[in-house]
Amino acid sequence: MSYSFKKQLKSFTFAWKGILTCAGHEQNITFHLIAAIIVLAAGFCFGISRTEWMVVMLCIGTVIAAELFNSAIERLVDMVSPEWEKIAGEVKDIAAGAVLITAIAAAIVGMIVFLPYVIALF
């Protein structure tokens, strides 16, 4: 199997299409993207360290990825189980719980990173 730059480029196009589809239809990912923009702005304003940037970017990426996985799982469940079923609901709840856990962990990391900068202002 040979490498094809054209195929690789097309796969990136599909990936961006998926991100944009989710961003255009899912309220939660919009919230996470707005939060990410605020965090990035705070990082620039406070001049956080290189290590802090790495941690913040990993948190942002993890939360956004979790939200994308959650959206994909929800759509798949809706497709295979259009009628309400207990297990289908549980699957969707579990996926949403995963997003919540990553968001809480990211918020804790954000407090650890940014709190000293905020305290230094006073």
Quickly tell me which residue has 């959650």 as its tokens. 70
Other beta carbons within 10 angstroms of residue 7's beta carbon come to 9
Gap between the Cα atoms of 24 and 37, Å rounded:
17
Mutual angle of helices 27-46 and 5-25, in 10-degree steps: 100
Quickly tell me which residue has 């919009």 as its tokens. 30
Phi-psi bin for 116: left (phi > 0), alpha (psi -120 to 50), beta? Answer: alpha
Q: Report the b/e string of 27-49 with b at 16+ CB within 10 A.
A: eebeebbebbeebeebbeebebe
52 is catalytic: no
Q: Active site residue: 67, 74, 83, 85, which one?
A: 67
Query: Catalytic residues, which ones?
Result: 67
